[in-house]
Structures are given as C-alpha cells and as structure tokens.
Amino acid sequence: MPTSQARAYAVQNASSPLARSDIHRREPGSLDVEMEILFCGVCHSDIHQARNEWHNTVYPCVPGHEIIGRVTRVGPQVTRFKTGDVGAVGCMVDSCRTCPSCQAGLEQYCHSFPIFTYNGQDKHLGGPTFGGYSSSIVVDEAFVLRVPAGMDLAATAPLLCAGITTYSPLRHWKVGPGQKVGIVGLGGLGHMGVKFARAFGAHVVLFTTSPGKIADGLRLGAHEVVVSKDAAAMAKQQSSFDFILDAVSAQHDINAYLSLLKLDGTLTLVGAPEQPLPVAVFNLLLPRRNFAGSAIGGIAETQEMLDFCAAHKITSDIELIPIQKIQEAWDRMLKQDVRYRFVIDMASLKN
C-alpha cells in the first residue's frame, strides 16, 4: 500500500524518552480522511502505554488519542468531510462494526476489541497504529468526529478522551436534576466530570485529597467540596448519593466512597488503578449498592458530547505546550502538577 512520511515523537522501548522520529501513514483510501494534526491532548494513558505498564505495548509507540486536525485530503467516497474542515479523532480508529456492540453504537465495547488510535493493530499497514504526537493522521471517516464551529480547538482536544470518558457514564446512569452526584478526584478526568454533572443539573459534590483545590472545584461548578482526608466531613455524606463517578487512577480506598451511596446508588470507576481495589462486600449488600465501570464512549455518543459542549460552552482547562516539552509535561503529570490537561501545539513539531 502506498505510504507517505510523517513527523512524530515516539518511544522505542519502555525506558527510552520520547524523541523525534519519522513514521509512515497510508495514502488515503476511498473512505479515508487525512488530517494535519493541529493539537493533541496528553492523557495519563500515554504514559502507561509508553512505559509498558499495561504489559501490552508494541514499539515503537507514538502516543496521543485526543486529536484535533484540519482535513487535507479525502477519499472519493467520503461524504461528511471536505478539505479545510476541522475534524477530531479520539481513542479509536476502527472496530469490527458487525458485532452487537458495534451495531448498537458502542464501538468501545467491540467483541473483537476496537482498534485503538495508538498501539492498536494497523490492519492496513501491519504493525502498531500510531497516535497524535505526529504531524498527520489518516482515519476512516466513520471514526472521525465533526468539531462544531466556534470551539476553542486546543481546549477541545481533551474532550476526545477525558470528556467522553466522563460524559458517557453520567449519561448512561441518567444523571440529572434532583440527584446528588459525587466526583472523586480533580484531575484531567475529574474536572470534566464536575463540569458535565453541573451542566446536567445535578447537585455536585467534589471529593479531593488536596485542600488547595477547594476554590478550583467551586469555580469549575461543584456545589460542595469535601476533603476526603477529613473523617468528620466524610461522615456527614454517608448514604446520601445517587451516583458517584470515581476518576482516580492511583490506589485509594474505594470502600470510603461506596459507603456514601444511598439505596440502589451506583459508583462508577473511570480511573484505572494499576492494582486491584479491595471491596468490602457488605458495602454492596447493605444497602443494595452498585459498583460499575465505564470506558470512553461510542462514536455517535462522542459526537453528541462535542455538540453538547458547543451548546453549553464547555471545554477543558488546559496548559498549551510545544512538543519539545512533552517529557517535562509527563514528569509534571506524575506529580499532579497540571490544571488540568496538557495539550500539545503540534505546529511546534515543524521546528
């Protein structure tokens, strides 16, 4: 298959730093959209994958799945995009499209496993798929999103992962007016959870271990902020929540939050701790509580989320960086020193 060369930042093994590299992209096929990448959000998953912390990385690895780009070419059968349009690519670039999940618009739960934007299996060129820390990308139009006019493009990029990861469970469990909803953790995911839960009309309580984030939590839309290290403050919240979204990826006491749910309340985990979280079974049995998980969202729901964000003027709080500072950004992310998402200005890749 004909290919063209693209600039990228890649890691060559689990311990190597990100460094400038050249990769190959396929020439656009009949249904493909080629985009020049303008901005790419930086997700904690990028670090996990690059460092092989999930024990499945194929090298070289080019991370990045929060992609905003400008269309440069389209295949002859493409109907939804034209040259010059602004498009977006999230965590997936394909799926089997035929299983019950795909048919239901839940491509993220594809029975054959979705093809992820990076470290997936490239069915066109072979080897791994390469992500958004690069100058361009070619994706089937079925997995390219439309970016509504007027949105801040850099601040929109994290919506493609952090946004849909929090939007999807809040929508699925029908969060809305009259409900008390908790958001655990104020990071890249949590700050979007606060914004969405507030926009859906719920009473929003943010839980954080950092007293320094109280003011930010209130600014972002929380009605209350509880410092989870304060036992008395936690005790006041017992058995009062309809829904809790846990966005923490580090080890933490999940039982402290399960006990805050009321009868038939649900705690949904969207963070990805490296080790299992012990669950005290009586926190589920009495009174009948639900412990669930959720992963990103399907293509249709991701488009719904982008349109919702445009209508409600919601984007991520970001710090824009050049690609040359990506290693520093990763180091800062590990120290939780970002409020609340790094985004790479990919124009810097030309330098």
Residues 187 and 324 in one domain: no
Instruction: Write down which residue in 254, 270, 293 finishes a domain.
Output: 293
Domain with 228 in it: what CATH number? 3.40.50.720
Q: How many domains does the chain have?
A: 2
Any residues with CB less than 8 A from the CB of 214 and at least 6 apart, and which?
A: 208, 225, 227
- Beta-carbon contacts of 176 under 8 Å, excluding residues fewer than 6 positions away, are 200, 201, 202
The whole domain housing 219 covers 162-293
- For residue 109, the domain's CATH number is 3.90.180.10
Vertex 217 angle, CA 207 and 174, to 5°: 65
Q: Is the pLDDT of residue 164 over 80?
A: yes
Query: Rounded CA gap, 176 and 174, in Å?
Result: 6
21 and 135 share a domain? Answer: yes
Tell whether 68 and 114 lie within a shared domain: yes
Alpha-helical runs (H) found in 82-210:
100-103, 153-156, 162-172, 190-199
pLDDT tens figures, 16-69: 999 999 999 999 999 999 999 999 999 999 999 999 988 999 999 999 999 999
pLDDT digits (tens, 9 = 90+) for 190-206: 999 999 999 999 999 99
* Tokens linked to 218: 């209130």
**Co-location of 152 and 173 in the same domain:** no
Residues 273 and 309 in one domain: no
Residue 1 predicted with pLDDT over 80: no
- Among 245, 267, 293, the domain-final residue is 293
Average pLDDT, the chain: 96
Residue 230 confidence (pLDDT): 96
If asked whether residues 157 and 8 sit together in one domain, one would say yes
The answer to whether residues 240 and 323 belong to one domain is: no
The pLDDT, as a whole number, for residue 275 is: 85
Structure confidence by residue, pLDDT tens digits, 246-266: 999 889 999 999 999 999 999
How far is residue 95 from each of residues 165, 182, 183, measured CA to CA in Å?
Answer: 18, 33, 31
List strands edge to edge, sheet with 261-269.
Answer: 224-227, 203-208, 180-184, 241-246, 261-269, 290-293
Are the CB atoms for 257 and 183 separated by under 8 Å? no
Phi/psi of residue 3, nearest 5 degrees: -135, 165
Residue 351 has pLDDT above 80, yes or no: no
pTM recorded for the entire structure: 0.96
Judge if 139 and 49 occupy the same domain: yes
Is the same domain home to 74 and 131?
yes
252/304 same-domain check: no
Say whether pLDDT at 284 is over 80.
yes
Are 160 and 194 in contact by the 8 Å Cβ rule? The answer is no
C-beta of residue 88 within 8 angstroms of C-beta of residue 167? no
Q: Are 131 and 244 found together in one domain?
A: no
Give residue-wise pLDDT tens across range 68-98.
Answer: 999 999 999 999 999 999 999 999 999 999 9
Q: Are residues 166 and 133 in the same domain?
A: no
Last residue of some domain: 277, 293, 309? 293
Least confident of 81-85, 91-95, 241-245, 333-337: 333-337
pLDDT digits (tens, 9 = 90+) for 31-42: 999 999 999 999
Interatomic CA distance for residues 314 and 155, integer angstroms: 9
